[in-house]
């Protein structure tokens, strides 16, 4: 039998057509690039990879590649990738930069996808925890880490100096900033170590907010108000700044400018930090513990640092990225990452997942120094003009860290220089 040529051709055409349909019906394979600022070989990323593998099992076409960028370069690297039209699909953003990112319009709105999924239960996140990431009805980030600032201390130095430890002071309801300064002075006077080191020793050359905001708020002050009014020069804020200057020069209990000291190597009795810093003490050669921030003159004012997962608008795989962020922040998965990142989900916070999550921290301290502060704490300040404000504030603060400097006068000039920026 002779088969006409046309027959083969039409068979071939049908075949090609079917292939085309089947390819478009079955989703094309995508790899999501997800940027974060912790080391690629850290246990946190190992857990994230585990979660991504589970997601891949449910969605075989989606794989996720986590890309680690050091924190110091993170903002500029991601921005350059966006400007170079090669955006990551998803990633992390830290609280200080939140407003500038949210207002820049480069982030994708996650609200439609998250509210569409009833089992996700977006209402489980407290309103205050979403505040920074919200604009109108749009939600540009899901906070995965709400980490309160707390005091880390070297118990050996307290014993050597013969001063009350924070837990003893808490026991008699005397854990306030005044006694914080007194114990720091006791340690500085009676041991070779300093009493207090700023957060990551970065007060003079790096992130000074982390040290100053908890102390300023403890005295009832704040760098600026929610409506963008500068408050550096209010009596309360000045009292906080004066407190730091006094510890530095009058008591000489705080690590002064120009000294390279490391709390984590035993160089100071106390420092302020977050839960993630506890891992750095796992191999410490001294006895250590943590405590909540001291009571302030205006009551207890816990301060919370925040980081959120976001999706970039220009991502080629935007919908897949949004769905992956949804998956990473479901109740079940938030509970699993809670051992590293204190959650913003109320249901997880009140479950046992957090309180027993960190083998280095006993449950009672987890409750008092981590969980309670998250529930009542306020997030660090943010502004769309953050880098410009920092540029103005840093050199002026340097003028305060000089013996005998007039704190009020410098605080006034800080407000003079940043008020126009805050008004934008």
Partner 1 sequence: MQSPIRRYHSMSLARKDELIGYLFVAPQMLGFFVFVLGPILAIFLFSTQERNLLTGVVNPVELANFEYMLQSDRLFPKVLANSLIFTSGLVPLNIVLALILAMLLTRKLRGMIFFRTLFFAPVVTSAVAWAIVWRFLLQGDQGINQLLSGIGIDGPNWLREPGWAMASVIVTRVLKTVGLNMIIFMSAIQNLPREYDEAASVDGANFSQIFFRITLPQLAPTILVVLVLTVIGSLQVFDHILLMTNGGPANATAVLIYYIWFQAFKVFDIGYASALAVVLFVIVLTATIIQWALRRRFIYNEQ
User: Which residues of the shown chain bind partner 1 in the complex (CB under 8 A)?
Assistant: 75-76, 79-80, 82-83, 100-101, 104-106, 204-206, 256-260, 387-388, 390-391, 394-396, 398-399, 401
Minimum distance from residue 28 beta carbon to partner 1 (Å): 27
Least distance from C-beta 58 to partner 1, angstroms? 34
User: Minimum distance from CB of 340 to partner 1 (Å)?
Assistant: 28
Tell the smallest beta-carbon distance from residue 334 to partner 1 (Å): 29
Q: Which is nearer to partner 1, 45 or 82 (CB)?
A: 82
- Residue 117 or 192: the one with the smaller Cβ distance to partner 1 is 192
- Closest CB to partner 1 among residues 252, 375: 252
- Judged by beta carbon, residue 171 or residue 387, the one nearer partner 1 is 387
Query: Which residue(s) pair with 135 in the sheet?
Result: 138
Quickly list DSSP for 68-132.
E--HHHHHHHHHHHHHTT---SEEEEEHHHHHHHHHHT-BPP-HHHHHH-GGG-GGGB-HHHHGG
The secondary structure of residue 395, as a DSSP letter, is: H
Sign of CA dihedral 258, 264, 268, 274: positive
**Cα 254 from Cα 91, distance rounded (Å):** 36
- The three-state secondary structure class of 341 is coil
Q: Least distance (Å) from partner 1 to the CB of residue 412?
A: 16
Nearer to partner 1, 155 or 266 (CB): 266
Minimum CB–partner distance for residue 135 and partner 1 (Å): 14
By C-beta, is 206 or 228 nearer to partner 1? 206
C-alpha angle 197/298/390, rounded to 5°? 50
CA distance 47 to 336: 8
Q: CB–CB of 424/385 below 8 Å?
A: yes
Measured from the Cβ of residue 211, the count of other Cβ atoms closer than 10 Å reads 24
Residue 339 main-chain phi, psi, to 5 deg: -65, -25
Q: State how far the alpha carbon of 191 is from the alpha carbons of 55, 118, 156, 184, 186, in Å.
A: 53, 58, 10, 11, 8
Least distance CB 242 / partner 1 (angstroms): 19
Smallest gap from Cβ 258 to partner 1, in A, equals 4
If you ran DSSP here, which 8-state letter would residue 40 be given?
T
Least distance in angstroms from the C-beta of 385 to partner 1: 9
Q: Are strands 134-135 and 138-139 parallel, antiparallel or unpaired?
A: antiparallel
> Which residue lies nearer to partner 1 by CB, 247 or 348?
247
Among 53, 102, 50, 93, residue whose Cα is nearest residue 75: 93
Nearest CA among 301, 150, 293 for reference residue 220? 301
Between residues 224 and 401, which has the closer beta carbon with respect to partner 1? 401
> Which is nearer to partner 1, 281 or 389 (by Cβ)?
389
């Amino acid at each position: 039998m002779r088969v006409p040529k046309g027959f083969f051709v039409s068979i071939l055409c049908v075949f090609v057509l079917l292939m085309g349909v089947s390819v478009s019906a079955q989703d094309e394979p995508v790899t999501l690039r997800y940027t974060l600022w912790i080391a690629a070989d850290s246990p946190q990323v190992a857990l994230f990879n585990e979660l991504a593998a589970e997601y891949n099992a449910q969605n075989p076409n989606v794989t996720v590649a986590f890309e680690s960028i050091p924190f110091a370069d993170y903002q500029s690297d991601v921005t350059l990738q966006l400007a170079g039209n090669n955006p990551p699909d998803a990633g992390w953003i830290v609280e200080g930069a939140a407003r500038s990112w949210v207002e820049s319009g480069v982030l994708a709105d996650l609200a439609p996808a998250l509210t569409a999924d009833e089992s996700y239960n977006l209402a489980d996140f407290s309103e205050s925890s979403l505040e920074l990431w919200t604009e109108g009805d749009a939600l540009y980030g899901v906070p995965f880490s709400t980490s309160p600032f707390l005091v880390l201390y070297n118990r050996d130095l307290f014993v050597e100096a013969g001063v009350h430890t924070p837990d003893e002071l808490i026991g008699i309801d005397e854990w306030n900033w005044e006694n914080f300064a007194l114990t720091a002075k006791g340690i500085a006077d009676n041991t070779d170590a300093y009493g207090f080191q700023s957060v990551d020793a970065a007060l003079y050359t790096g992130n000074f907010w982390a040290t100053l905001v908890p102390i300023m708020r403890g005295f009832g002050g704040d760098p600026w108000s929610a409506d963008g009014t500068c408050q550096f020069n209010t009596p309360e804020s000045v009292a906080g700044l004066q407190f730091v200057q006094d510890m530095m020069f009058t008591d000489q209990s705080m690590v002064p400018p120009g000294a390279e000291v490391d709390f984590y190597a035993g160089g100071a009795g106390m420092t302020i930090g977050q839960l993630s810093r506890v891992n750095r003490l796992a191999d410490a050669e001294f006895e250590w513990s943590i405590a909540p921030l001291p009571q302030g003159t205006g009551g207890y004012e816990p301060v919370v640092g925040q980081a959120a997962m976001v999706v970039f608008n220009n991502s080629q795989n935007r919908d897949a990225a949004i769905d992956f962020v949804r998956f990473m922040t479901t109740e079940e998965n938030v509970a699993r990452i809670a051992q590293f990142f204190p959650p913003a989900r109320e249901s997880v916070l009140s479950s046992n997942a957090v309180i027993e999550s960190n083998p280095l921290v006993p449950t009672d301290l987890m409750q008092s120094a981590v969980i309670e502060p998250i529930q009542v704490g306020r997030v660090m300040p943010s502004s769309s003009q953050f880098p410009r404000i920092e540029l103005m504030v840093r050199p002026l603060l340097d003028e305060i860290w000089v013996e005998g400097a007039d704190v009020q006068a410098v605080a006034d000039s800080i407000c003079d220089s940043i008020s126009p920026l805050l008004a934008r």
